[in-house]
Amino acid sequence: MQQEIHSHYVLHKPYGYLSQFINNQNKRKNKKLLGELYNFHKNTMAIGRLDEKSEGLLLLTTNGKVSTRITSHKFEKEYYVQVDGVITDNAINKLQKGVTITIHGKPYHTKPCVVFRVHDLSDYPIKQRHVRDERHGPTSWISITLTEGKFRQVRKMTAIVGFPTLRLVRVRIGDIKLDINIGMVREVKQL
C-alpha cells in the first residue's frame, strides 16, 4: 500500500490577509487570501487561524490528521501583543490568573497563562508597523502564551484588563518559532 504524500508549510502571515484560500465572507469581494502569497499544493488548509488584523506564525498542511493533532493537543501558542498604554503589574497578574471574557454571548473564564513584558522584539522577525499616531499616548508589548484558542481571545483578554490590543503577532506554536520574514513561506518535511 502506497503512503500518501502530504505537504506542510510554515508561513509568516502578513497583516490584512484572511487565514483561508477562498473568500466565503460576502462582506467584501477584494479580501487578501493566503493563495496570493505562495503556490500551495491543492487541498492545503490552515492549522488554526489568525484573524485578518493579526500577523505571524501560521502552519498549513494537506494532512487533516496533522491539523487535528496540533489543534486538539493543546500546543502552546505564544503571541507578542502591542497594547494601548504602559501595561501595569496588576493587569499582567490578572491575565496570568485568567480573566472572564465573552465567547458566543456567554461568559468564559480563560485558563491561567504565561504573561510578561517584552522590551526587545529582536528575537523574532517583527517589523515596525505604524498602528497609530504617537500623540495618542504610549504603547507597550507583552508576551502571552496560551494552550487554548477561543475566538479573538487575546484581544478580549487585554481589553478586559484595560489595555486594548493594537497589534497581535503569533511568534510560536509548540516548538515551532517564527523565523521567516513577513509574507515568506517555507515548506517543511513534517509538523
CATH number of the domain within which 132 lies: 3.30.70.1560
The helix/strand/coil state of 170 is strand
Is pLDDT at 26 greater than 70 in this prediction? Answer: no
Query: Is the same domain home to 62 and 121?
Result: no
The helix/strand/coil state of 142 is strand
Could you give the number of structural domains in the chain? 2
CA angle (91, 96, 100) in 5-degree steps? 75
Q: What is the pLDDT of residues 122-131, one digit of tens each?
A: 999 998 888 8
Query: Is the same domain home to 92 and 65?
Result: no
Is residue 117 one of the residues assigned to a domain? yes
pLDDT of residue 51: 93
Query: Is the same domain home to 147 and 65?
Result: no
- What's the domain range around 12? 8-73+177-188
Is residue 2 one of the residues assigned to a domain? no
pLDDT of residue 27: 60
Query: Is the same domain home to 166 and 89?
Result: yes
Query: Is the same domain home to 62 and 87?
Result: no
Query: Is the same domain home to 163 and 85?
Result: yes
CATH number, domain of 57, equals 3.30.70.580
Query: Is the same domain home to 66 and 90?
Result: no
Is residue 1 one of the residues assigned to a domain? no
Query: Is the same domain home to 100 and 61?
Result: no
For the whole model, what pTM was predicted? 0.93
Query: Could you tell me which of 19, 18, 15 has the C-alpha nearest to residue 53?
Result: 15
76 neighbors 92 (Cβ within 8 angstroms): no
R_g over Cα of the chain:
17
Query: Is the same domain home to 90 and 146?
Result: yes
Q: What is the pLDDT of residues 56-88, one digit of tens each?
A: 999 999 999 999 999 887 799 999 999 999 999
Cα distance between residue 156 and residue 138, in whole Å: 20
Query: Is the same domain home to 183 and 169?
Result: no
What is the DSSP secondary-structure string of 32-57?
B-GGGTS-PPTT-EEES---TT-EEE
Give the active site residue among 51, 84, 89, 120.
51
User: Residue 42: CA atoms inside 13 Å, Cβ hemisphere, count?
Assistant: 0
Cα distance between residue 124 and residue 143, in whole Å: 12
Query: Is the same domain home to 12 and 45?
Result: yes
Q: Which amino acid is at 89?
A: D
The helix/strand/coil state of 141 is strand
Is pLDDT at 118 greater than 70 in this prediction? Answer: yes
Is residue 37 one of the residues assigned to a domain? yes
Query: Is the same domain home to 26 and 91?
Result: no
Residue 51 falls in the annotated catalytic set:
yes
